[in-house]
Structure 1
């Protein structure tokens, strides 16, 4: 959205030219389903459905690739990107996940996880930064800190870059079965669960949350923040006053979190069998979504203080690095099967300023 940075998540009726949101982006979400129009919000950085992304792209035909260039937002509370090793915490939110057991790889699994998403999510975050995978390289070109000017489209010498996440990023896993997850948790409720997780993991200071990211995974047959028929996921930080239900007061400093629905419930709209066929493709959209929100969090930790599209009139205005490359297939930087040190996961590319295109792989920049 616009460089009025903290107020980045706006109800559709209040979004318009004054906030710099592209008409193309609004049109895509306006046709995404009645839930989006009545209950959720048009969000900067929301991961659109497959059809929503296709509409944005169709309306952008003829636009120059330079219209996708990202620029630095100046940071919020001094935070732009994760310029230290990311720490990802997976929070399985609500007793509807069912009975917990452990698989041969030490991953939590659940009796009500019919698609087997939970262990795959754990393995994917264990795998990021291992096996010399180059998917993480694209994000390392982005930076923050006092050396980086607001509006910059490249990083000056000496700036603090997103690091290559050597050795994996999974820092903790928690099943919070103390109560049922709400049928349609608000953004505030999801943020409050992330705050609860921060305390659970002992991250009780701003320093311990500077590079932490809490993925709030809602169970099958829930509709967190009314995502169904509207979008596939989003990420944010606690201080966003336009979260549905309001910002989350924190006693642990700023913290980043995401709304990760059980989006296999949305079928092809959120990527089931997007790349691979049959049972091999059941979790295509799941791993794509998890990777999408992770790559955006590490490059835009407190949205939109990090790297976003701020080009007035661009069809991609308000989007983040992964949004600009959402649901591409069979083209440069499109979705592919990425091999990591512990397996292969379906991921999407993200926007690369230095090559002016979407990239599934990239050399590490420091």
Structure 2
């Protein structure tokens, strides 16, 4: 959910303090210097070990923000992982293989987490809260949604990439994968994963784990993308409710948060939003280890209108 842009150090500090005690996502303008950037969406706060699950509230109910039949949801999700920069020759936490395995398992009967998304749709009236049999529903994948992996190692990723540079990398990835018209980019999401030691859009001092957005600055139509920093650099316990010391939990929890929000609010924010934000925003204090066919991963809870609460399975 777009929640505004904070432009002073005091507000950044306040956002961090709120995140530590388990609030929902707060958007932070993390660009260094006077250059202004738009607020982003689905911002997951950077915090360690917060473990209070928000109570179910009717104000969390998600409503569709547009009657459009494109850009509201991603009916057939396809994920493109982009490991940005020559620095990926070093991956101390094993992020690259872990992200691939996680998405390789997010399909079929073993993936009961992904079925939460099936209830949401596009092509229905603005303000709809229950699709029923109407509209174009999100389809639960019958095979892995991982459509492509690219190690873009021709040059180093910027040490402190701006939001515009991240968007440009997503556009470059669309070209690399041959998605050069709007049609394939109605379901494609590009996850730009920055390497260890870098600070995309001010991470971690800006207080977020990741965010997602759209860009129309490419010649390939409007594309959806995620800024995913190297979260293990912040240590075990960052960006997850688990305190068991597992280093990859935070990035798994964060990317499932962003994946689900991109699928249900594809071109923010004409998709599904509620009083608590997007589908993952109201549920940042709920994580579960879920066994998929490719391993066990930390998947963040999602808001279910049908259950009227945060859940980790459909």
Pairs aligned (count): 300
Query: What secondary structure, in the 3-state scheme, does the structure 1 residue paired with 2:183 have?
Result: helix
Where does residue 213 of structure 1 map in the other structure? Answer: 189
The Cα of 1:220 is off from its aligned counterpart by 0.4
Matched, 1:303 2:281: no
Contact kept? 2:302, 2:312, Cα under 8 Å:
yes
Contact kept? 2:19, 2:47, Cα under 8 Å:
no
Larger Rg belongs to: 1
Q: Quickly say closer, same or farther: Cα 1:75–1:52, change in 2 above 3 A.
A: farther
Where does residue 238 of structure 2 map in the other structure? Answer: 270
Aligned residue among 63, 73, 88 for 1:97? 88
| Aligned mates of 1:76, 1:190 — CA distance in 2 | 27
| Aligned mates of 2:148, 2:290 — CA distance in 1 | 23
Q: Quickly say closer, same or farther: Cα 1:160–1:321, change in 2 above 3 A.
A: same
The Cα of 1:132 is off from its aligned counterpart by 2.7
| Aligned mates of 1:178, 1:204 — CA distance in 2 | 21
Matched, 1:28 2:15: yes
Contact kept? 2:107, 2:144, Cα under 8 Å:
yes
TM-score normalised by L of structure 1 = 0.75
| Aligned mates of 1:266, 1:77 — CA distance in 2 | 39
Aligned residue among 78, 81, 92 for 1:87? 78
Matched, 1:155 2:131: yes
Question: Which piece of structure 1 moves more, 41-50 or 334-343?
Answer: 41-50
Give the 5 Å matches for 1:221-232: 221-229=197-205, 230-232=207-209
Give the 5 Å matches for 1:153-232: 153-229=129-205, 230-232=207-209
Aligned residue among 324, 328, 348 for 2:282? 324
Per-residue CA deviations over 1:302-341 (Å, capped at 9, x if unaligned) read: 00111011x4xxxx3xx11111101x2xxxxx31111112
Give the 5 Å matches for 1:97-136: 97-98=88-89, 112-136=90-114
Where does residue 297 of structure 2 map in the other structure? Answer: 345
Query: What secondary structure, in the 3-state scheme, does the structure 2 residue paired with 1:346 have?
Result: strand
After superposition, the CA RMSD in angstroms is 2.9
Per-residue CA deviations over 1:93-149 (Å, capped at 9, x if unaligned) read: 011112xxxxxxxxxxxxx1001111010011111004532000111111101xx11
TM-score normalised by L of structure 2 = 0.86
Query: What secondary structure, in the 3-state scheme, does the structure 2 residue paired with 1:234 have?
Result: strand
Contact kept? 1:184, 1:223, Cα under 8 Å:
yes
